[in-house]
């Protein structure tokens, strides 16, 4: 008997036994087939991963065992739809690892990581499978494939080559070993950042130490203290707590303590990442080298819009060098203001900058985040963001109460197209908690696809860390948080509008440096008076936001634009420095970072602090050699939004074209082609520099 067929039978028997009791493996009875979060328990994950991997291997084995001539259908399409159970399980588990984790899930993740790496190697280093893919690839021009089919074939072939398919057996073993070690190292990095963030609390018992803090920050601090069983007030390194404390506290030493705690996260102690950073970089150097690339950056950028590190380095330099003088002037202006108002030191320290820049902004534009918050009640902002999508694209959102959620804070909406057709389920998780990592992001529990003529519509989610409602006030968000909401919602629209056959080519499955275009273009509406006037009302009085406040928002839009641009480019520059190495530097993690950034520093360096040890984007979040893409996408969106400005910010002809050429296409074509199809030309950095006012 064929051993592969026998193995497949054993796998299917295993899956059948698991499915009887595991909600991760049975067909959901929830509306639209949504995940049954109300039934999922920690004990379900490991068996589900084991069953999913067994099923996926059986499906791969069936492709290999097929005696027919390799074709696009029996090889490439069959691979695309293999492992769906595993993908579903992973899609739920890893999303909840970020949004609602616990200690047991962290342990499961460590158990599962080598299993998934082994499965990945089972596919990518499967010589007979690669031979079938190669056979189809070599006759691709005569197959009469559609654009998306050709893209899928080319992506698959490149993926095998980039995954080590052409390596010798000895090198395949090394590649597999290093990949597994890298997977565990990035997991350890992420775990340490979360633990280090949660381990710090600034406990205040003297009310005098609350000087300068707005009432909402004090209330939040009191509630956090109560949650932790402490007297007085407690402030954490979660952004909604950390950021306003640095902005408003007049107690400089406490600001210093908070800033230092945040910027020494995962440096030393039980959650130390300094050696893990070097381990990750070393493993990436080895992997790139064995695959034939000079550096990991060369490997990572090959399938992105920028294509190579020379382009990225030139791009960063083109923006960074002219922005530097504007950034230095921004810092000098804030320092001059601070000195006029009692600051006695010769230079601002990092823990001073948020405080004095906020005061300066209030004086220069008579604008403060605290003054604006009453006009941005979260519920009103939700309606406004949905309403913007309705106005641009004709879609509607209806809140559902019969779809299971993974936490009581989560809301679920059905999204329908203008013709009433179901488009997606949209999950919104807005508030911080200890089980959620910091920041904001969009993700999906299921992407869009079509198989055997049956379409599956997506389950899209955004996760944020906005200020929670208090006993005395509803959830009020800052204008910055509204901008963040619009940003993540832009990603969500990319997933919601997905239209295609193949899950790996739909939605946000695009080049890393293209994926931020749909999100960053949405931020523009946060500064458009016509849009703000449509919803911003005082939560107590119902009075519309005064025209002068909107004027100040618009006027302040480019406040510290030079400083902000250089800061963002710093991150991209540091990322490229780590991933352009051919060997580990002699310096330690902290020293390497400080040496790298010194030529472009606009603030004093603080001994013992570093960002690398908590730089989750590049060391555990998929942005390795890709952080530049935020600025890259800003250039794209500045050029793209100029068309809205020309035709009208609610122009449905422009939004329709954006949906058709960008949002619905996913990765079915090269990103450069998709952009030109929408805009008619290639983007230039000039559009962004002019938008930010960074031109002489």
Q: Which of 436, 556, 426, 544 is nearest to 491 (CA)?
A: 426
Q: Out of 358, 488, 528, 637, pick the active-site residue.
A: 488
Contact at 8 Å (CB) between 608 and 259? no
CA pair distance 500, 479, nearest whole angstrom = 35
Residue 693: how many CB atoms within 10 A of its CB? 12
3-state secondary structure of 400: strand
Q: Which two tokens stand for residue 252?
A: 């400089």
Q: Which of 44, 125, 143, 38 is nearest to 85 (CA)?
A: 44
The torsion region of residue 571 among left (phi > 0), alpha (psi -120 to 50) and beta comes to alpha
In 266-308, which residue ranges form alpha helices assigned H by DSSP? 274-290, 296-301
Q: What does the angle CA 478 – CA 100 – CA 402 come to, to the nearest 5 degrees?
A: 90
Q: Which of 634, 576, 577, 668 is nearest to 301 (CA)?
A: 576
Closest among 213, 559, 603, 563 to 360, alpha carbons compared: 559
Handedness of CA 522, 526, 527, 529 (dihedral sign): positive
Q: Are 51 and 26 in contact (CB under 8 A)?
A: no
Active site residue 399: no
Report which of 349, 328, 327 is spatially closest to residue 338, judged by C-alpha positions.
349
DSSP string, 654-665: HHHHHIIIIITT
Burial 608-636 (b: 16+ CB within 10 A, else e): ebbebbbbbbbbbbebbbbbbbbbbbbbb
Rounded Cα distance, 652 and 642, in Å:
15
DSSP SS3 for 460:
strand
Rounded to whole angstroms, the Cα distance separating 179 from 190 reads 17
Q: What is the CA radius of gyration of the chain?
A: 26
315 touches 628 (CB < 8 A): yes
The tokens for 286 are: 């080895």
Residues classed as catalytic: 488
């Amino acid at each position: 008997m064929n051993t592969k067929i026998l193995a497949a039978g054993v796998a299917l028997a295993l899956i059948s036994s698991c499915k009887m009791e595991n909600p991760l493996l049975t067909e959901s009875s929830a509306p639209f087939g949504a995940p049954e979060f109300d039934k999922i328990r920690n004990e379900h994950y490991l068996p589900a991963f084991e069953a999913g991997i067994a099923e996926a291997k059986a499906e791969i084995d069936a492709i290999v065992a097929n005696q027919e001539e390799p074709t696009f259908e029996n090889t490439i399409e069959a691979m695309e739809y293999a492992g769906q159970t595993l993908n579903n399980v992973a899609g739920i588990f890893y999303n909840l690892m970020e949004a609602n984790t616990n200690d047991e899930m962290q342990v499961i993740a460590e158990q599962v990581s080598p299993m998934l790496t082994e499965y990945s190697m089972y596919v990518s280093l499967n010589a007979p499978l690669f031979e079938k893919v190669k056979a189809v690839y070599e006759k691709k021009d005569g197959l009469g494939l559609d654009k998306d089919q050709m893209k899928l074939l080319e992506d698959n072939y490149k993926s095998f080559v980039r995954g080590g398919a052409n390596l010798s057996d000895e090198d395949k073993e090394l590649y597999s070993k290093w990949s597994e070690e890298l997977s565990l190292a990035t997991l350890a990095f992420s775990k340490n950042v979360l633990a280090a963030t949660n381990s710090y609390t600034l406990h205040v018992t003297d009310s005098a130490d609350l000087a300068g803090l707005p009432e909402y920050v004090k209330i939040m601090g009191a509630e956090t203290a109560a949650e932790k069983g402490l007297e007085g007030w407690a402030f954490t390194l979660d952004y909604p707590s950390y950021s306003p404390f640095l902005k408003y506290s007049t107690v400089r030493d406490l600001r210093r303590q908070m800033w230092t705690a945040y910027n020494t996260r995962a440096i030393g102690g039980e959650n130390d990442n300094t050696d893990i950073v070097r381990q990750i970089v070393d493993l990436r150097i080895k992997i790139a080298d064995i695959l034939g690339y000079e550096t990991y950056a060369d490997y990572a950028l090959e399938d992105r819009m920028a294509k190579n590190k020379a382009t990225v380095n030139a791009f960063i330099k083109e923006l960074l060098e002219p922005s530097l003088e504007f950034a230095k002037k921004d810092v000098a202006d804030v320092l001059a203001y601070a000195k006029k108002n009692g600051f006695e030191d010769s230079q601002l320290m990092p823990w001073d900058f948020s405080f004095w820049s906020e005061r300066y902004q209030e004086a220069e534009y008579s604008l403060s985040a605290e003054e604006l918050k009453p006009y941005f009640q979260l519920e009103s902002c939700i309606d406004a963001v949905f309403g913007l999508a309705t106005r641009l694209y004709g879609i509607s959102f209806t809140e559902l109460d019969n779809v299971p959620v993974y936490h009581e804070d989560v809301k679920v909406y059905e999204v329908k197209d203008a013709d009433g057709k179901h488009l997606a389920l949209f999950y919104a998780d807005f508030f911080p908690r200890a089980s959620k990592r910091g920041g904001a992001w969009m993700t999906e529990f299921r992407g869009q696809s079509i198989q055997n003529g049956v379409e599956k519509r997506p389950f899209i989610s955004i996760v944020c860390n906005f200020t929670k409602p208090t006993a005395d006030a509803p959830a009020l968000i800052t204008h910055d948080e509204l901008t963040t909401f619009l940003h993540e919602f832009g990603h969500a629209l990319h997933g919601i509008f997905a239209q295609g056959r193949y899950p790996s080519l739909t939605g946000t499955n695009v080049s890393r440096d293209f994926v931020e275009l749909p999100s960053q273009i949405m931020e523009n509406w946060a500064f458009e008076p016509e849009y703000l006037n449509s919803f911003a009302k005082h939560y107590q009085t119902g009075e519309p936001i005064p025209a002068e406040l909107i004027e100040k928002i618009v006027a302040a839009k480019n406040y510290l634009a030079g400083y902000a641009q250089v800061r963002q480019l710093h991150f991209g520059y540091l990322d490229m420095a780590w991933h352009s190495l051919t060997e580990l530097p002699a310096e330690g993690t902290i020293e390497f970072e400080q040496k790298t950034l010194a030529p472009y520093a606009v603030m004093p360096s603080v001994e013992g602090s570093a960002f690398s040890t908590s730089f989750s984007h590049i060391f555990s979040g998929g942005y390795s050699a890709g952080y530049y893409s935020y600025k890259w996408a800003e250039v794209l969106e500045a050029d793209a939004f100029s068309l809205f400005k020309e035709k009208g910010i609610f122009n449905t002809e422009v939004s329709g074209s954006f949906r058709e050429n960008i949002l619905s296409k996913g990765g079915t074509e090269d990103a450069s082609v998709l952009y030109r199809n929408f805009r008619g030309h290639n983007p230039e950095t000039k559009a962004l520099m002019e938008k930010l006012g960074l031109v002489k």
